[in-house]
Structure 1
Amino acid sequence: MLFPMLVAAAIASSSPIPPLPALPNLSVLSYNIHGVPWPIAKHRPHALRQIGQALAEMRLEGKQPNVVVLQEAFTRRAKRMVSLGDYRYVVAGPSRHDRFGPPEDPEQRLFSSRDRAIKGEHDGKIEDSGLLVMSDYPIIAVKRMPYPRFACAGFDCLANKGMLLVQVQMPGIAQPVVIVDTHMNSRGASGVADARSDRAYDWQVQSLRQFVRDNIPSDAPAIVAGDFNIGSVPRRLAAVTADGGIMPGGVDAVRQAVNGTAANPDSANTAAIAQHGKDWMFGRSGSRTELSLQSVTVPFGRGADGHMLSDHMGYIAHYRVEPRLGQGTP
């Protein structure tokens, strides 16, 4: 008779039964902040400070993204300025000293033998990867890997571009969400022939695909985001999206918003990001966790006066995260 007594007591109580806590949502900001050193870029400290202050203001208003994935946070000042957002968990990508993957076949060895120091192609790295992930949710695992030494071309070789993976544990969600941040070789800005930069890019895509296969469980909810430097180059687009994409099952947030399958309140800026063709965020659900894109907003877009704080726009993908039907919570 214990169960009926408990029910009766609950009905008789003047205090309502507290509702179950709402499951958290996941908002991810991806932004190439152009935090490169002088003299490559000028007048960056002021813009970087504005980015950091904007993140701080978003926090004060309770509108900050839960996770921030940045590219080109190269300088100490860039890292310090964006830290104004006051995130509890902060992880940097590969350092400038990390190395991975000597040439393995004749083509790679020949490619490396044609390095030109005047174009920045040498063994030393002046900058780290420029990758930075900041999170309000606990980061419970980290994996870093630079792209192979031979898989870079031109001035991009001055930075140790690569991949940064984190596992984010959200309250009430059984599976950690895996998030990968990356920045890939540019084309025209690399300062070398397109054929050379594109070949290096092909090898980077291979490395990224292998990194995803090796480090993201096939049943995990996951996001792969960053500056893919695809632009309007069909070869690069095909390399990233062929055979199920860089991450099987992953769908890009910006293109979903542009196509009308997610809310798109900043439509002009979102369309500009899609047309630019460099910033992508591929998301997918896990076996026990549903990751559903709700909207894309662009807090770091083009202002009314046409001004931007970077040569890229920073956008937020807003996901609803919940257990798959019948899977329950931890």
Structure 2
Amino acid sequence: MYIGPHKIDGRVFLAPMAGVTDRPFRILCRRLGAALAASEMVGSNPALRETRKSRLKRDHRGEPSPRVVQIAGADPRVMAEAARFNVDHGAEIIDINMGCPAKKVNRRLAGSALLADEPLVARILSAVVGAVDVPVTLKIRTGPSAEQRNAVRIARIAEDAGIDALALHGRTRDQHYRGEAEHQTLAAVRRAINIPLIGNGDITGPADARRLLEVTGCDAVMIGRAAQGRPWIFREVQHFIETGSVLPPPAPGDVQRWMLGHLQALHAFYGPGQGVRVARKHIGWYLQALPGGDAWRRRLMRVERADEQLSLAAEAITAVTAGMNTAAPVAGSAH
């Protein structure tokens, strides 16, 4: 499939997630099979552009093309300006967030709150598309509520405005992540538009992805929460879509290499202090489903130094991936 001039080699994308899809995680997921990986949401407020947090979000060094930056906001003029600014700083695709259900975003009438105002949606999309020479994509939900599922109308507005691809999470705004993602709305949107459609929601493995593609006719799938602690899910899903066969689980040595490389990248990207803190949640996700992982996770949450975190994480991942050949530590024990 193509998004503007960009040929996308694969049908499995990483979903943008605030506080998760930073540059180290995007690069790792692309290396492990994600065909596309958008940045975490970047606010359009120009007053915040030179904060350290904003500068890190637009840092794309070493990231494979095409580089996707997701922007959020509710003012068409400000959103257009934000799109131009991010293109000037390396974005090759601009993605517009109209899918985030978080209260702090919706209180500003941004994210999925915008779906309730279709004329404003049209103005924002037209302003951003007209402001930049790169492709513009859009991420939405099925509607503000079960009583107002308007994804088909929003999708048509998007196509008419010149949006190059649409990602649809199969829940309404007021569902957040409760209940099951609905395939029927994805299928209805697929019938209504001609631009590429990416389906999102409840894809936890290869079978889920192939079922969504078959039932809805989507061109690709987008994976978010299921990639946390399991970034190799992208190659597993892509392989299953292409061949119908299941890849064997990654070798323990590969899991260790990917995890430790990820932690080192976080330390380098954020600096050793903040890097250790950011790495804690990723360590928790890597260990959460593994035998004895919770006991190791509790020890690792107390570590303050980058070198100690790497050393103990190596010990932990070796133990849990070896089928507990090494005993898990007693909670509260010191390293």
TM-score range normalised by the length of the shorter chain:
0.3 to 0.5
**Structure in which a larger fraction of residues adopt helix:** 2
User: Which structure: larger Rg?
Assistant: 1
TM-score by length of 1: 0.34
Return the structure number with greater relative CO, CA threshold 8 A, min gap 6. 1
